[in-house]
Chains A and B, each alone.
Chain A
């Protein structure tokens, strides 16, 4: 409990420990070894676009494959390797590039178990960066987990803390189904308590990040951090929000969300994705359908707008749901009476 580790190093440690535990684990991706060049030599200069794979190439030279810039090729290779007995972790630098390898993921990896009558497994993990905030414009900033959540046969993980990142990545490697693992690029520096030992967090189990009786705030990934900031502001006004982090969008822990809404009667869903057919609209619809009787106010969604991520820094700053917008939505479902509890 005592050791602090960054989100980036938590992911790095998970891969080190799983590669040590299971020799079937391999890693593929662009620039995961040499990359930017440097004094440590080409093999260890960098370790991924942001350094998540540091130290792995030296330790496991034949199990870390630095691939050409061809997502369709190495994602296809990873899916094939998974179907034939390995447990690959593929690093697809930006989720925005998934477009060129959709068939490998949607039509192949996600379908094998079903189309082969349950006789095939596809234990592949695709790690990928998502999210706005790094001035990287429309093609390197998107939040696309709703696309993958929509496809049966895929599991979708969106960790919000270093502790969760390590435990969920270990679970992903050990899982027999294809897992898309989303890492927010603005969260790599975030530090938190991370046990040194290996541990696994089950998929489909929400985390109650903060308890509160007034409003349920369902948030995922980086939005959990923003919700926590909003919670501080609101607590000073006498409003206690309960933050529920589902951790995985597929499978989704619906029960914990319903239980929380039943105790608060109010729901705000926070999602960095666009609002249409999104994680936010999914949770809102599920609660409206299955826990309507518990609701004492309309559900509010706090999302990015239905627009590409802008390159203009000023616009990008207002694009992502902010703690202020989350706090405003909470006050709104409480009847806009700032400082009143109910």
Chain B
């Protein structure tokens, strides 16, 4: 799920590439899922040596202290060498496999071994002090908005942070803005932001007002207020047009912004969005606002996924950390009262998109327990609807590979 990079990886690629590129060999590395990941525990290989793999195929299972995920092929070819063993703890960016043409293994197996050995010998783990990108903040309308910007530099140097927040995004590619759901933060896109940031595309994830490390002042707390802040944020960054990707509440915010300022929005990708119907799991919303302990919160977070096992203690702790910050509970309560009064959804935003001509992609899990998948039928005419069989309310986390592929195709087509 990682582009072929990760902070501190430069030494490895420089040393390995001379021998490897001639024979068409490339490496697969331990991906970095989210800001805090420095290593992953290797659980299992999903394919045998000698298997033919396509770009994006799931190759291995990796567990982090936050969440489990699937490592996907970052190049196509034959899986020539599996370097990682189940049970090993492996730093981000370290080589875990060699991929290349099948002929390479037959013609010169020693060269493949030498390439693998050199990769491993030359790998230098990232210096913890400056590993990876950092979040920035911009103040708009008196509200501090925290965001993380990836990509932008031509050549897809994933992890590169462009500029210091004062200047406009560098690179001549498109800008994609990721909007999380109710109670989430920019870290919810840990499996998506880096994969989407290749090829000169700039991908910005932000904390909505009331969430994460952004201002706890949510104003009226309704979709209009939230969308207004996101619009002002993009103006402040100097982003003239952007693709918006929104999950759940973030989907409704994106749609509202597209309806009110269509010139700002290139395309709209909505994942299990709010704003398409009335029904929603109101107990989840109320329970989330009220929850103070791990015991309260864990069963609620389990409703976000088709597989409740995905909710680790660390994930629960991270949400609790956010909820303990002064003003968060009050801010969430204001948003909940405005957007989900009496356990129903207040505003329909789907209809307002009809006349805008903005391309729309709707992605929904058929096992969504928070917002019923049937509401996908309310999508505006011409929208592309993708239903993911068996996925829950957070397909961008639990089925990241598929969602990234759908988003990648959609973003490329919708330019």
The one of B35, B292, B325 that contacts A197, using a Cβ cutoff of 8 Å: B325
Cβ of B35: which chain A residues have Cβ within 8 Å of it?
Answer: 1-2
Chain B nearest CB: distance from A8 CB in Å?
20
User: B294: CB under 8 A from chain A?
Assistant: yes
Cα-based distance from A2 to B133 in the complex (angstroms): 10
Set A200, A208, A255: member contacting B324, Cβ < 8 A: A200
Residue of B nearest to A211 (CB): B313
B293 interfacial by beta-carbon distance below 8 Å: yes
> Which residues of the partner chain B approach A255 to less than 8 Å between Cβ atoms?
295
Q: A200 contacts which chain B residues (CB < 8 A)?
A: 324, 326
Measured between alpha carbons, how far is A199 from B135 in the docked complex, in Å?
A: 20
Chain B 266-320 interface residues, beta-carbon cutoff 8 Å to A: 292-295, 312-313, 317
How many pairs, one residue from A and one from B, have CB atoms within 8 Å of each other in the complex?
A: 39
- B134 on the interface (CB 8 Å rule)? yes
In the assembled complex, A262 has its CB within 8 A of some CB on chain B: no
Instruction: Check A205 against B294 for contact (C-beta < 8 Å).
Output: yes
CB distance from A179 to the nearest CB of B (A): 17
Note all chain B residues with C-beta closer than 8 A to A201: 324
Q: Are B326 and A205 in contact (CB under 8 A)?
A: no
Residue contact A199 to B293, C-beta cutoff 8 Å: no
Known interface pairs A1-B36, A208-B313, A211-B313; A195-B325 also in contact (CB < 8 Å): yes
Whether the pair A197, B134 counts as a contact (CB closer than 8 A) is no
Chain B CB within 10 Å, residue with most, of A197, A198, A201, A208: A197
Which chain A residue lies CB-closest to B89? Answer: A235
Q: Does A221 contact B (CB under 8 A)?
A: no
**B381 → chain A, closest Cβ, in Å?**
42
Question: A198 touching B294 by the CB < 8 A rule?
Answer: no
Q: Which residues of chain A from 1 to 47 have any CB-CB distance to chain B below 8 Å in the complex? A: 1-2
In the complex, are the beta carbons of A202 and B292 less than 8 A apart?
yes
- Residue A167 at the B interface, CB < 8 A? yes
Quick check: is B213 within 8 A (CB to CB) of the other chain?
yes
Counting contact residues on chain B (CB < 8 A from A), the size range is 10 to 19
| Closest B residue to A196 using CB positions | B213
**Among the listed B135, B292, B321, B325, which residue makes an inter-chain contact with A2, where contact means beta carbons less than 8 Å apart?**
B135
Given A1-B36, A2-B135, verify A199-B326 contact (CB < 8 Å).
yes
The residues of A that contact B312 with a CB separation of less than 8 Å are 211
Bound form: Cα–Cα A177–B313 in Å: 30
Question: Please, how many angstroms separate the alpha-carbon atoms of A120 and B313 in the complex?
Answer: 39
Asked if A195 contacts B313 (CB within 8 A), the reply is no
A195 to B207, CA, bound (A): 15
Bound Cα distance from A1 to B213, whole angstroms: 9
Residues of chain A contacted by B324 (CB below 8 angstroms): 167, 199-202
B209 to chain A, nearest CB (A): 14
Nearest CB on B from A16, distance (A): 14
Closest A residue to B132 using CB positions: A2
| Contact pattern, A 319-341, Cβ under 8 Å of B = 1, otherwise 0 | 00000000000000000000000
Contacts of A202 in B (CB 8 A): 292-293, 324
Q: Given A1-B36, A2-B35, A2-B135, answer yes or no on A197-B294 (Cβ-Cβ < 8 Å).
A: no
* Residues on B with beta carbons closer than 8 Å to the beta carbon of A207: 317
How far, in Å, is A128 (CB) from chain B's closest CB?
24
Q: What separation, in Å, do the CA atoms of A264 and B36 have in the docked complex?
A: 28
Q: Which residues on B sit within 8 Å (CB–CB) of A197?
A: 213, 325-326
Which B-chain residue is minimally distant from A170 (CB atoms)? B326
Using a CB-CB cutoff of 8 Å, which residues 183-203 of chain A contact chain B? 195-202
Q: Which of A1, A2, A205 contacts B293 (CB 8 A)?
A: A205
Q: How many angstroms between the C-alpha atoms of A275 and B36 in the bound complex?
A: 38
**CB <8 Å contact, B213 and A195:** yes
On B, residues with C-beta under 8 Å from A are: 35-36, 134-135, 213, 292-295, 312-313, 317, 321, 324-326
Task: List 9 A–B pairs whose Cβ atoms lie within 8 Å, in order of A's numbering.
Answer: A1-B321, A167-B324, A195-B321, A196-B213, A197-B213, A200-B326, A202-B324, A207-B317, A256-B294
What 5 additional pairs, Cβ within 8 angstroms, besides A198-B326, A207-B317?
Answer: A1-B35, A195-B213, A195-B325, A197-B325, A199-B325
